[in-house]
């Protein structure tokens, strides 16, 4: 029972968290928000992050934090803010052959300023291309080594004639702060579920916009619900943002019972779940279960210390139960970190499916429980209680029927609903529904109610 089901049954009553059913249009809403924030030029610091958070704040009551430049956060120091106004390369005719205003990917992210006239050969040393994907613009950064550079399609570079080019990167660095957004949905306990998305990539749709938009909408829908857990949403720049949050919130870390880093959730691939460092945390079991029942061939990966901010959450000094949820696995799809990771690459239906998987995970976290069969010796007579009849008319008949038998058989106070779902190889929600039916008939009680002699609804 690695899933740590509730020691006591949730005190949620009939107004409790009843799941987050996928509403019609949820995929479109998420997509619309992703499209809204897509054009913004984000980096690890600066106004791009603030502007993005302002968009998210239209949906949820976001708290925006500013961590001053120079602040020590563990082994790191908050860098200066990057300011970018314009960037271009002009040919001899004065035409912009590369223009930041067309795509913010064209400038090396966090590039130093430059203003010069250079021969092509020399300029090329500062231009990143993808020779194997010659029509795409790469996304490149240089956060911790000061240099300047451009990114462009290999074919466009190849087309440039020799000669002198005027180059301008009208950018700068200033003391300021690192910005991140935080939203806390308070549940009945202060045990927390952390949901974290990075907010430092410029116009990349799947790789940052999709996760930001999905989490914002998940938070929005949670807002109206009573939950057992508190849900903390974090929208922070990759690496340095997560490190800053951890450094400033060490007192909150012990509260984190479950966590997910969410990114690249809008494409058609996957789904992918990369386990936490622990490998057997409840969230690892839960996400494995959810993905196995959502997809015929999910990609379930053991932890490895490379990726998104699970690197920080799973560093050995924290070792938090935080996994990574994606559709296509990062760095394995050809659009990754290129101009092809645009709004055509993500689809409302994939965003909706990702939303449903997360919502199911929350369902499990909220409602997993230990139960006890009140008639444990031999099977109770189900027919007499209308439980066979009820099943007969169900479209989910055979599964529902088997779920009833499984719950009765394993509800011995030592198996949680998730344990039962796993052993029965049935979706958690089917098993929970069976448990609810049995509880209504008095055949099942939560373990603590068992002791107290009173049954509460699931």
| Binding-site ranges for its own copies (CB under 8 A) | 73-76, 144-145, 239, 242-243, 246-247, 250, 277, 304-306, 311-312, 314-319, 373, 375-381, 383-384, 402, 405-406, 408-412, 424
Shortest spacing between CB 376 and its own copies, in angstroms: 3
37 close to 55: Cβ distance less than 8 angstroms: yes
Closest contact distance (angstroms) between CB of 111 and its own copies is 17
d(CA 159, CA 165): 14
Q: Which two tokens stand for residue 40?
A: 């913004």
Q: How far is CA 440 from CA 41, 367, 435, 437, 455, in A?
A: 55, 16, 9, 5, 9
The nearer residue to its own copies, 154 or 311, going by C-beta atoms, is: 311
* Residue nearer to its own copies on the CB measure, 346 or 403: 403
Cα separation, 323 vs 301, in Å, equals 10
In terms of CB distance, is 75 or 159 closer to its own copies? 75
The CB-of-372 to its own copies minimum distance in angstroms stands at 9
User: CB-wise, 41 or 420, nearer to its own copies?
Assistant: 420
How near is the Cβ of 82 to its own copies at its closest, in Å? 17
Q: Which residue's CB is nearer to its own copies, number 18 or number 138?
A: 138
172: Cβ contacts below 8 Å, ≥ 6 apart: 82, 83, 113
> What is the smallest separation between the CB atom of 407 and its own copies, expressed in angstroms?
9
- Give Cβ neighbours of residue 239 (< 8 Å, ≥ 6 apart): 44, 309, 311, 312
| Nearer to its own copies among residue 265 and residue 434 (C-beta) | 434
Rounded CA separation 14/5 (Å):
19
Find the shortest distance in angstroms from Cβ 379 to its own copies: 6
Whether the CA torsion 234, 235, 238, 242 is positive or negative: it is negative
74 versus 122: smaller Cβ distance to its own copies: 74
Indicate if the alpha-carbon torsion angle 107, 262, 351, 423 is positive or negative.
positive
Say if CB 266 and CB 351 are below 8 A apart: yes
Shortest distance (Å) from residue 455 CB to its own copies? 17
Whole-number Å distance between alpha carbons of 144 and 146? 6
Minimal distance, residue 93 CB to its own copies, in Å: 38
Structure tokens at 291: 């993905």
Nearer to its own copies, 22 or 390 (CB): 390
Residues 241, 300: contact at Cβ < 8 Å? no
Identify the helix (H) or strand (E) that includes residue 259: strand 256-262
| Strand-strand pairing, 192-198 and 230-236 | parallel
Closest distance to its own copies from the beta carbon of 345 (Å) = 26
Q: How far is the CB of 276 from its own copies (least distance, A)?
A: 12
Q: Long-range CB contacts (< 8 A, 24+ apart) of 69-76?
A: 69/45, 69/175, 69/176, 69/177, 69/178, 70/175, 71/244, 72/247, 73/240, 73/243, 73/244, 73/246, 73/247, 73/248, 74/243, 74/246, 74/247, 76/240, 76/243
């Amino acid at each position: 029972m690695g899933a740590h089901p509730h020691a006591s049954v949730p005190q949620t009553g009939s107004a409790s968290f009843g799941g987050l059913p996928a509403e019609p249009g949820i995929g479109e809403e998420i997509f619309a928000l992703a499209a809204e924030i897509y054009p913004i030029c984000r980096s690890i610091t600066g106004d791009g992050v603030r502007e993005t958070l302002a968009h998210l704040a239209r949906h949820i009551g976001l708290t925006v934090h500013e961590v001053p430049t120079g602040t020590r956060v563990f082994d790191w120091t908050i860098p200066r803010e990057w300011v970018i106004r314009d960037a271009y390369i002009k040919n001899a005719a004065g035409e912009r052959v590369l223009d930041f205003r067309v795509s913010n990917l064209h400038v090396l992210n966090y590039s130093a300023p430059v203003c010069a006239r250079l021969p092509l050969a020399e300029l090329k040393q500062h231009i990143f291309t993808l020779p194997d994907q010659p029509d795409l613009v790469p996304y490149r950064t240089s956060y911790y080594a000061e240099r300047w550079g451009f990114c462009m399609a290999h074919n466009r570079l190849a087309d440039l004639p020799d000669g002198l080019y005027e180059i301008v990167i009208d950018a700068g660095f200033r003391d300021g702060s690192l910005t991140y957004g935080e939203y806390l949905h308070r549940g009945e306990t202060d045990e927390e579920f952390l949901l974290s998305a990075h907010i430092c990539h410029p116009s990349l749709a799947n790789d940052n916009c999709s996760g930001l938009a999905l989490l914002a909408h998940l938070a929005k829908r949670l807002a109206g619900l009573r939950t057992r857990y508190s849900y903390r949403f974090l929208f922070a720049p990759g690496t340095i943002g997560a490190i800053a949050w951890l450094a400033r919130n060490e007192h909150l870390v012990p509260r984190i019972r479950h966590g997910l880093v969410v990114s690249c959730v809008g494409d058609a691939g996957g789904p992918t779940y990369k386990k936490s460092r622990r490998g057997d945390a409840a969230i690892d079991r839960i996400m494995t279960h959810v993905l196995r029942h959502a997809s015929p061939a999910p990609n379930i990966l053991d932890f490895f210390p490379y990726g998104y901010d699970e690197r920080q959450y799973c560093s050995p000094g924290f070792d938090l139960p935080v996994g990574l949820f994606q559709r296509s696995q990062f760095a394995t799809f050809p659009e990754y970190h290129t101009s092809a990771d645009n709004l055509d690459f993500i689809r409302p239906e994939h965003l909706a499916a990702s939303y449903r998987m997360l919502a199911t995970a929350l369902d499990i976290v909220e409602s997993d429980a230990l139960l006890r069969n009140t008639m444990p010796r031999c099977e109770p007579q189900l027919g007499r209680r209308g439980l066979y009849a009820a099943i007969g008319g169900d479209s989910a008949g055979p599964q529902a029927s088997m779920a009833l038998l499984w719950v009765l058989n394993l509800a011995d106070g030592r198996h949680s609903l998730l344990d039962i779902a796993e052993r029965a190889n049935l979706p958690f929600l089917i098993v929970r529904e069976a448990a609810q039916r049995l509880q209504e008939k008095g055949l099942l009680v939560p373990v603590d109610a068992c002791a107290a002699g009173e049954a509460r609804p699931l």
